Amino acid sequence: MGTTVGDDGSGRAMPLTALPPVFDDRTRDACVVVPGIMGSVLEDAETGEPLWGVDLAKLTNAATGGSLLARLHADEREQAAHADTARRDPLTGIRATRLLDKPWWLPVFEGLDPYGEVVDTLRKVTLAPAAVAPFPYDWRLAVSYNGALLARAARSHLTRWREQAAAVPGRQPRLLFVAHSMGGLVVRAALEQDPELAADTRAVITVGTPFLGSAKAVLALNLLNARAKPRRLLHGVQAMAATLPGVHDLLPGYRCLDRGLEVDRLTAQDVARFGGDEALAARSLGEHARLRRDGFVLPGHRAVVGEAQATVQTLTERTREGIAVAEGLRHSFDVGEDGDLVRDPATGIPARLDASGDGTVHMPSARTGTEAVTYVFGQHGTLMRHDEVLRQIRRIALERPQGVHLGGDGSTTGPGLEIPWLGGTYGEPLTLTVTGLDTPAGVSLSVRSATTGRAGHPLGLQRDPDRGDGAFTTLFFADAPDLYRVVLDTGRHAPVSQLVLVAAPDA
């Protein structure tokens, strides 16, 4: 019998040849993928009818979209659900069945890519595909409620995986969480509620997570106030969002209301005036205050933060016919070590700065201050397909050293996309804007159908004379109502992409 060495991961001894065998590197850990808001497919628990994430045409159709969104409204029991409720009596009316597996889009929240690539990436660096568990959840509900469900699911997954991995020599498997957007808040809630689970966690990777909230949540609640004649889809989105604890849990907890000489935090009364629910807002803003006071450090936290994209960071309030309208602003405010606003010494005016972000979450909100950070040029909803993000996830899963990454050429400024966050209407041109470039030479901007893959012609860029930041713009004329993917490729950085819906005129 010949000499054998090692194990190939399946229990079979490997014959020793002239050269020792070389195995692919693998992590022993159990991985859990937690999507962001809108990132789980939702179904009616009794009938199995898909309600979210399956048929975008049904959502945007004037005849069916309103009723579909109305069925996603949270009722009183769902609004009251929290961590203890999840442990005692989980809600059963609507169930989350799987991660989003096709591109999706909604006004204000904009485009969202599916999560298949990140799941595949992790399965390629684990001992077996069973080590990776997606965690779909009902994103309509409170973060604390979903956190309790995640804690239970993650413990179960780790226990099962440890039993399977016991046959392969090596250290005891631990948990690795990979979370996008709201998913990072759900992970934080799970680990804060379950200290033993936190102790069994090696690392948490958050991608575009709004730890301090996002000003866009206010814009979603304010859609009816902001537009004199809202389209049906906008009406349905605002009416749905106003009932959802999950949307209110994304409200900004930082100073975001620009009053001119002062900058205030939102109050629950402000949120109600803008179109939200006062009780849900009070609960969310109270949680922000608790976290500012107590804090919670995620174990092994690595944050991936999008930058260089035009991002609503703060808000100002105006009135139209006596109705409060929230207007998004692309600047934030500098805060000193004492927590006070930094002011111009000559005028006393708060110091404003453009902190940029990923188009949805501004950079200060996507960091906690205790983690290793990787910066990428990318849009919020498409980060989980971004080449650099996937590379970082592989490195962290394999326990490679991490460091701050500043883009392909080492700079802190880079390519950005600006696309109308309310989408477009078929028959009308859609203005696409590219920022952060000195010249369009060698740059490709293209649009293709996200549903069929049908490619369009490359678009030429012209400098926008009305902007002082050197931006370039172009007009895109859609050949049909559809969900489109806009891709900006400079040849020097990983491509930046975003999804945008061009709806039929009656939608």
Which tens digits make up the pLDDT trace of 326-375? Answer: 999 999 998 887 778 899 888 889 999 999 999 999 999 999 988 899 99
Average pLDDT over residues 93-102: 96
pLDDT range class, residue 412, cuts 50, 70, 90: low
Kindly list the structural domains of the chain, giving each domain's residue range(s) and its CATH number in brackets, ordered by start. 30-207 (no CATH), 417-503 (2.60.40.10)
Least confident of 68-82, 367-381, 393-407, 413-427: 393-407
Per-residue pLDDT, 491: 82
Q: What percent of the chain lies above the pLDDT cut of 90?
A: 68
Tell which residue, 48, 214, 68, 245, has the closest CA to residue 142.
245
30-34 and 175-180 strand pairing: parallel
What is the signed CA dihedral for 499, 205, 208, 94, rounded to 10 degrees? 70
423 φ, ψ (degrees, to nearest 5): 80, -160
**In the Cβ-directed half-sphere of 499, how many Cα atoms lie within 13 Å?**
27
Average pLDDT over residues 420-434: 91
How far, in Å, CA of 347 to CA of 261, rounded?
10
Q: Is the pLDDT of residue 134 over 80?
A: yes
Model pTM score = 0.90
pLDDT range class, residue 57, cuts 50, 70, 90: confident
Which tens digits make up the pLDDT trace of 158-199? Answer: 999 999 999 888 889 999 999 999 999 999 999 999 999 999
How far, in Å, CA of 88 to CA of 350, rounded?
48
For 48-104, the DSSP string reads --EEESS-HHHHH-TTTHHHHHHTT---HHHHH--HHHHHH----SEEEEEE--S-E
Residue listed under structure tokens 């808040």: 185
pLDDT range class, residue 6, cuts 50, 70, 90: very low
Average pLDDT, the chain: 89
Average pLDDT over residues 25-32: 94
Per-residue pLDDT, 8: 46
Per-residue pLDDT, 2: 41
Per-residue pLDDT, 267: 98
Q: Is the pLDDT of residue 10 over 60?
A: no
Average pLDDT over residues 139-160: 98
Helix (H, G, I), strand (E, B) or coil at 249: coil
Query: CB neighbours (10 Å) of residue 159?
Result: 11
Which tens digits make up the pLDDT trace of 287-319? Answer: 999 999 998 999 999 999 999 999 999 999 999
60 φ, ψ (degrees, to nearest 5): -90, -5
How far, in Å, CA of 211 to CA of 411, rounded?
25
What's the Cα-to-Cα distance from 288 to each of 221, 248, 249, 319, 477, rounded to whole Å? 19, 11, 9, 27, 43
Q: Is the pLDDT of residue 13 over 60?
A: no
Q: Is the pLDDT of residue 5 over 50?
A: no
Cβ-based burial of 18 (10 A; exposed 0-12, middle 13-18, buried ≥19)? exposed
Least confident of 184-188, 274-278, 428-432: 428-432
pLDDT range class, residue 40, cuts 50, 70, 90: very high
Average pLDDT over residues 484-492: 90
Per-residue pLDDT, 21: 53
Tell which residue, 31, 141, 42, 34, has the closest CA to residue 83.
141
pLDDT range class, residue 507, cuts 50, 70, 90: low
Per-residue pLDDT, 408: 40
Which tens digits make up the pLDDT trace of 217-257? Answer: 999 999 877 764 557 788 899 999 999 999 999 999 999 99
